[in-house]
Structure 1
Amino acid sequence: MTSSGTSSARVTAAGVPRPGGAGRLAGRTVSRIGYGAMQLERLHTDRAAAVALLRRAVELGVDHVDTAQFYGHGFVNEVVREALGPSDGSDGVVVVTKVGADPDPDGPLPLRPAQRPEELRASVEDNLRSLGTERLAVVNLRRLDTGPGLRAEGDQVVDLDDQLAVLTALRDEGKIGAIGLSSVTLEGLRRALPAGVVCVQNAYSLVSRSDEDLLRLCAAEDIAWVPYFPLGGAFPAMPKVADEPAVRAVARSLGRTPAQVGLAWLLHHAPHVLLIPGTADAAHLAANTEVGEVALDGAALASLDAVPSRSADVPLG
């Protein structure tokens, strides 16, 4: 999945060196270190700061942004549109969005499942409107089969084939450029392969590697692996990469933070990994884009590879 290393692939469309090097997503060359926009919700009282942070990410070489209409009940998509302008990803920044949940600010969790085909279509239309574009470069279907978070019940238990049918119809209509999957099982991905999947987003980190077979299938099928919760610890029961003694030891030896080491391990682990770490802090943003410069030698990698993997399957609600 890495690029051939040509000079044009080493820089973004704006001529900025690609943090983490070059990878591939939906047939496009992108920086292997992108940006997960969910954390922009934390800046909802300072929209200008949110816009400035996202523009700073692009200045640092980020050209792959992950968002969703249900982030901040539309606030994050509005920031993406203001900061980057309407785009279908054909030039400049590739904006990836997702469907499968809707905001539920008054519920026990801020999200509720929205898995039915008509809800998926409505979510695509909502993303088109809020992002101000006629075509979404990539849309990830957030399944509720695995990983921490929501689970489907009642009429929200929907067959994957029915969901893929509506997404492929939207792709045929020109409203979607490519289809990805999130929180999917190995069998689910195998069933979905004929639909043309370009990326998979599952919870995965140095300390939660239960999806190794899924990662390998993505590599074999030229599918980008885009882990969410790449440092673990998003929920109380999830292990944290930064708590691991081996990670902390490597970080000390390199003069880096444990978070940088955890992200660097992901880049070293497989060439089709694309990172989308999120933050609402400019200093953390800069530190994340520097991860590609972290050199892990054989001894460091052996030490990190030996860290035991624990399950990230922490259902809520």
Structure 2
Amino acid sequence: MLEGSNRIGGRVKSVKFGGKPVEEGANRVIGKEGTRLWDVVQKYKVSGKKTDYDSVLIRNFRGLTGTEGENAWTKLEAAQMTVSEIYKRIEDKKTEDMSARTSLDIGRWSPVEKVVEIFDYDFEYGGSPGVTSCYSFGIPEESANDLYYIMDKSGIGVQKSGSVTFNPPLPDCKNDNLFRVRLENYVSVYFKFPNTSSRFWDNTKYILYADDRRGLFPVWQNLEVDGLFSPGTNILQMVTQGEDADRVSELTDADITGEVMAILRRVYTNVVDPEDVFITNWKSNPLYMGSFCNMDTLAFKPVIFEAIRAPVGNVFFAGDSKLLIGSLPVIQRGLRGAESTL
């Protein structure tokens, strides 16, 4: 076994920040009892907290959005009914796959409505609905284990970059289908504020920021909610993904810090300077070149997945890719790849 870094675990990586363990990569376990990852969690008594997605509010630079926010959730729920209906027609082969943007297209979206959409789609899938297969939103969890197997352990971003070569070259059918997979970007900015200062942000799990520009650090996570960290820890996580994460990945840490602090000061008063900052950037890491995978429209088909994971001679493929950031599919593909060689 060859490992490119000085550690194992890939994009499952915890680091010490502000005296607490924070996640540089995968933030959540996505799965339920009966999956192999959940068995590992139980076996080794891994601790964690169940995410409360209802603990959320929306802010812009004018303050809380109130009724406008409630109307945005209602509008999105109506659009999601259309997504469900389209998924069923795709599954029944009555229509072709389409982008989620097509099925969510229910009129002009305001900044508040956009951030609600981001929370339900971009935040989970890494890309906007315009670049994500509608079919991917309908896959039931219990069938995901058999469907999401895509790449060799070198990683899909590394493979697509051409920095790893095969001699003889991989078949065209392998490479053609490989390039149907999108490698999304996901950037977290962690701020540690002084223990002597009071928490200035809201006491909900998620705070959504509705800027006029879509996707500008839209999701903030309060790490003191639900007892994850004790009150007074004063660590705030701010997340961006997709195209805006690509933009941010090209900036210096100082520029990113300045931009995010300016946003915080537009929204809140009494914002103090952080005493420490930690910024993730998987896209610039030559061993990964991205965070996790997504599928373009018309690419979410078993035949494409099979072509990508199919062995070439004695070379077997496992590892990278699922539509959500997490570890379950990597474990499944690692086991599948190992079993294939036995």
Compute the TM-score of the two structures, normalised by the length of structure 2. Answer: 0.33
Highest Rg: 1 or 2?
2
